[in-house]
């Protein structure tokens, strides 16, 4: 079994969630924040059998788009000098950053 952790853009998350659940995958969506841009993104977790990993990756590819994001300058005034960005910067974000992690065991407890 594998756990697929995918960090995607918020704009793609609903479509991706629908596509995964339509294909009978079990999914958890977490609100997350990127360390570099310090802005919101979405982390999707899917636990699935090894032979279904490729299908999950395919669905992620079909539903997550690469986008350019313009970062406005950040003044150091009253803030942390580490986050000082003097010029607008364009960075390419997504479509998805994916980790496929082996799962030692999985179980649900229901009482």
**Binding residues for ligand 2BA (CB under 6 A):** 7, 34-37, 41, 91-94, 97
Identity of the residue, 35 or 102, whose beta carbon is nearer to ligand 2BA in the bound complex = 35
Identity of the residue, 52 or 97, whose beta carbon is nearer to ligand 2BA in the bound complex = 97
Identity of the residue, 23 or 33, whose beta carbon is nearer to ligand 2BA in the bound complex = 33
Instruction: Please tell me what DSSP assigns to residue 74.
Output: B
Question: Cβ of residue 38: shortest distance to ligand 2BA, in angstroms?
Answer: 7
| Paired sense of beta strands 89-94 and 66-71, if any | antiparallel
Cα radius of gyration (the chain):
17
Query: Is the preceding peptide bond at 95 cis, omega within 30 degrees of 0?
Result: yes
Identity of the residue, 69 or 75, whose beta carbon is nearer to ligand 2BA in the bound complex = 69
Contact (CB, 8 A) for 73 and 83: no
Question: Cβ of residue 3: shortest distance to ligand 2BA, in angstroms?
Answer: 14
Instruction: Please tell me what DSSP assigns to residue 10.
Output: H
Question: Cβ of residue 108: shortest distance to ligand 2BA, in angstroms?
Answer: 27
The Cα 65–Cα 39 span in angstroms is: 17
Question: Cβ of residue 53: shortest distance to ligand 2BA, in angstroms?
Answer: 19
Give alpha helix (H) positions in the chain: 10-22, 53-63
| CB-based closest residue to ligand 2BA | 34
């Amino acid at each position: 079994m594998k756990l697929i952790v995918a960090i995607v853009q918020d704009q793609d998350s609903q479509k991706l969630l629908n596509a995964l659940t339509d294909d009978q995958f079990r999914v958890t969506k977490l609100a997350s924040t990127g360390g570099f841009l310090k802005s919101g993104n979405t982390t999707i977790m899917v636990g699935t059998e090894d032979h279904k990993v490729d299908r999950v990756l395919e669905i992620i590819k079909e539903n997550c788009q690469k986008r350019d994001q313009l970062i406005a300058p950040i003044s150091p005034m009253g803030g942390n000098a580490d986050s000082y960005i003097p010029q607008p910067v364009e960075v390419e974000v997504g479509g998805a950053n994916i980790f496929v992690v082996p799962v030692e065991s999985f179980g649900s407890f229901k009482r």
